[in-house]
Homo-oligomer: A and B are copies of this chain.
Amino acid sequence: MSSPPVPPSLTETERGFLAPPSADLSADHVLLDYLFETDDDPLKAALHLCREQSTALWNRPGVDEDYRPRHAAKLVDLKALEPRPGSRSPRRARMRVAHPEINFGPRIPNLLTVACGEGAYFTPRIDVIRLEDIHFSAGFLAAFQGPRFGLHGVRELLGLQGRPIITGVIKPNIGLAIEPFAQIGYEGLRGGADIVKDDEMLADPPYSPIRERAPRVLELTARAASETGEGKLFIANITDEVENLIPLHDFVHQSGGRHAAVMLNAWCVGLSACRMVARNARVPLVSHFDFIAAFTRVPWHGVSELASTRLLRLAGFDMIIMPGLGGRMHQSHEEVLDSMRACLEPWGDIKPSLPIPGGSDWAGSLKPMLDTIGHTDFSIVCGRGIFGHPDGPAAGARSVREAWEAIQAGLDPATAAFPALRRAWEAFG
């Protein structure tokens, strides 16, 4: 981006929302990157946004005061872009806003109000706008605990280094009684899954109360760990009303100890409540991506997947399930890789989260995932690919392990002579 030129046509009010030249605001401002479309001059529209987002009326009539130097959101960068084909707005630009942290503090709801509130999204003549990225100061980040376990803590619980983690979503996802549900989870773990989990739709229904389901699945998870000599985890979906989250977390922890993890459908629960659970977490905390497509899907409006992922890591998720690489997930590879990087890159004292790109994967997905991702610090997550395998969940899980073995041996998983893998290819290939 380039520093905005200051045309003489700017009003005195507008000038108060320009970052002073060569000022470094990154120590006590959050930096917000937006893509927007307007029928106004992009510089004027951008300054108007800064004003709406902070101190629109910056003095009292007749009083000699000016709240802009301390409290104004300030335009740091602006870059005009070609208009989007088909847009009714003739102009498009990227902007970076520096918003003073003194206006809101290290609180997620107030941060969201700044970044995605009335100011930014209801600026006159800005028709559509997308929050593309967020950057925090070191001081702001230091106020957040982040993930308690993180990628390395999860790997340690599993005793597993150097290969992707294999997660199975127990299916049929809803309707199944507890005992068969726990049994097929156990079979998946015995067959080679490192983790099995509840579907995002299965929480605490009357036919499968979580306070009965979680202890039974965790009992069989511990047995699978003992029998295989491998670390194993069960992720219980504790998505529920906010008051119930910590009691459910504590119950799952007490039921499963080092074999337990809990999942929250993060945006459905609210990120602040997720942070509250993370602050009190004794087991890894896993997010699922329900609701996000409502604001991420349209590429020129809403909030990017990348920004969402940063907020999830900030809130303290150890494992972040995100829309994955398959075409079904309506994400470009670039978007998925950006989000995965946001999980893993150095970020103050905040631990990395394990990225879990999800969506209809199976043994045959592993090699393309590795080729696209370029490293092994992720989890592949399979539902039907494990629990719909024609020879059952153990064979389903084994098929994913065999795909890894084939890749390690330099073989093509599509043709390698591993029995469960061959059957998976016949069923899902």
- List A residues at the B interface (Cβ < 8 Å): 53-62, 67, 70-71, 86, 102-105, 107-110, 112-114, 116-119, 121-122, 124, 127-128, 131, 171-176, 180, 184, 200-201, 203-207, 239-243, 264-265, 267-273, 275-276, 288-291, 293-295, 297-298, 301-303, 323, 328-330, 359, 383-384, 387-390, 392
Contacts and interface: CB of A to CB of B under 8 A. Distances in A.
A276 B290 CA distance: 21
21 contacts: A56-B171, A56-B173, A57-B383, A58-B172, A60-B172, A60-B184, A61-B389, A103-B174, A103-B201, A107-B240, A110-B265, A113-B239, A117-B265, A117-B291, A118-B289, A121-B293, A122-B323, A122-B329, A241-B276, A294-B302, A298-B302
A301 to B, nearest CB: 5
Contacts of A58: 172, 175
B205 A102 contact: yes
Given A175-B71, A243-B276, A294 B121 contact: yes
Contacts of A61: 388-390, 392
- Listed from nearest, the 5 A-B pairs whose CB atoms lie closest are A270-B270, A67-B175, A117-B290, A121-B293, A112-B268
B201 A121 contact: no
Contact of A297 (B57, B62, B110, B128): B128
A112 to B, nearest CB: 4
Contacts of A270: 109, 242, 269-273
Nearest to A387: B57
A295 B86 CA distance: 20
Given A58-B172, A61-B392, A122 B293 contact: yes
Contacts of A112: 265, 267-268, 290-291
A51 B203 CA distance: 18
A175 B295 contact: no
Contacts of A113: 200-201, 203, 239, 265, 268, 290-291
